[in-house]
């Protein structure tokens, strides 16, 4: 129970397939007091259902693209919970019409919305919750390999994830002198609501399994375990890092020959 006495908030549980839920479950098991933020009434109903075995968790409605909402949830959290020892940003959004085919046609409004919701929100949430954070606080975001290498169909989300990873480094630099850490997990493909918006996602999962050194699909348990490490004092010397939880996929240039169509 090494998270006992630690309190924090998780953004991004849409249902029990969400990466954020994999992280939440592990933290709850380790004794943390976890508050949740959801985006809209429909998702609150999902949260109410999956939290049946965890009564008493505080829930806050917040669309992170609306600055006033972000400030309001941070104020409510400060008044009702007080300290923030961890904050998890597991939020991503881009118009799925542009998560297929070429990147070039991406219109400005689609680009800006993806950047706003998927990247800038880490800045606004960190700033808003800062008054509740003290030395030892750990902030965690979720990213994907499509930020640094081209992954077909990932398109504007790849650009937004590149921004998110850079934001992690700048925030870690700003907040390090106050003992606040900022890291990200770069997860392998997991079938979630958001991921289903990416064209050919099922094939991406299959290819990942064939090529990753561990030859398995990334699970919520894999990510939950790594998140627990990064959010707990076990990782007190770690900040500004992008940690891969992808079975080693990112390290392989050419995998098993059998995985490729050789004509």
Ligand X SMILES: NC(=O)c1ccc[n+]([C@@H]2O[C@H](COP(=O)([O-])OP(=O)(O)OC[C@H]3O[C@@H](n4cnc5c(N)ncnc54)[C@H](O)[C@@H]3O)[C@@H](O)[C@H]2O)c1
Token pair in block for residue 12: 């991004």
Is 144 part of the annotated catalytic residue set?
yes
Q: Which of 36, 86, 93, 98 binds ligand X (CB under 6 A)?
A: 93
Q: Would you count residue 139 as binding ligand X (CB under 6 A)?
A: no
Exposure string for 40-73, b = 16+ CB within 10 A, e = fewer: eeebeebbeebbeeeeeeeebebebbeeebbeeb
**Per CB under 6 A, 192 contacts ligand X:** yes
Is 154 known to be catalytic?
A: yes
DSSP β-ladder status, 181-187 and 242-245: parallel
Residue whose CB is less far from ligand X, 12 or 247? 12
Is 76 within 8 Å of 4 (Cβ atoms)?
no
Among residues 46 and 240, whose Cβ is nearest to ligand X?
46
Alpha helices in 16-66 (DSSP H): 19-29, 41-50
Catalytic one among 38, 77, 98, 144?
A: 144
Does the protein bind ligand X through residue 193 (CB under 6 A)? yes
Q: Is residue 92 at the binding interface for ligand X, with CB under 6 A as the rule? A: yes
Distance between CA atoms of 170 and 172, rounded to whole angstroms?
5
247 scored as a contact of ligand X (CB under 6 A): no
Where along the sequence are the contacts to ligand X (CB under 6 A)? 12-14, 18-20, 39, 43, 62-65, 90-93, 117, 142-144, 187, 189-190, 192-195
């Amino acid at each position: 129970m090494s998270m006992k006495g630690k309190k924090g908030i998780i953004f991004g549980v849409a249902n029990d397939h969400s990466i954020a839920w994999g992280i939440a479950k592990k933290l709850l098991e380790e004794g943390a007091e976890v508050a949740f933020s959801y985006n809209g009434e429909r998702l609150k109903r999902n949260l109410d259902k999956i939290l049946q075995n965890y009564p008493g968790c505080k829930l806050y409605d917040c669309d992170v693209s609306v600055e006033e909402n972000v400030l309001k949830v941070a104020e409510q959290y400060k008044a009702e919970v007080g300290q923030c020892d961890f904050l998890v940003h597991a939020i991503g959004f881009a118009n799925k019409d542009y998560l297929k085919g070429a990147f070039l046609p991406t219109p400005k409004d689609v680009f800006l919305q993806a950047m706003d919701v998927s990247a800038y929100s880490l800045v606004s949430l960190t700033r808003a919750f800062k008054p509740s954070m003290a030395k030892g606080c750990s902030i965690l975001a979720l990213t994907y390999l499509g930020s640094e290498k081209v992954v077909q169909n990932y398109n504007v989300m790849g650009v937004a994830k590149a921004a998110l990873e850079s934001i992690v480094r700048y925030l870690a630099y700003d907040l390090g002198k106050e003992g606040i850490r900022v890291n990200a997990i770069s997860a392998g493909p997991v079938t979630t609501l958001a991921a289903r918006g990416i064209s050919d996602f099922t094939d991406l999962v299959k290819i990942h399994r064939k090529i990753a050194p561990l030859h398995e699909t990334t699970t919520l348990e894999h990510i939950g375990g790594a998140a627990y490490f990064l959010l707990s004092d076990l990782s007190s010397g770690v900040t500004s890092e992008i940690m891969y939880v992808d079975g080693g996929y990112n390290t392989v240039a050419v995998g098993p020959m059998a995985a490729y169509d050789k004509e």
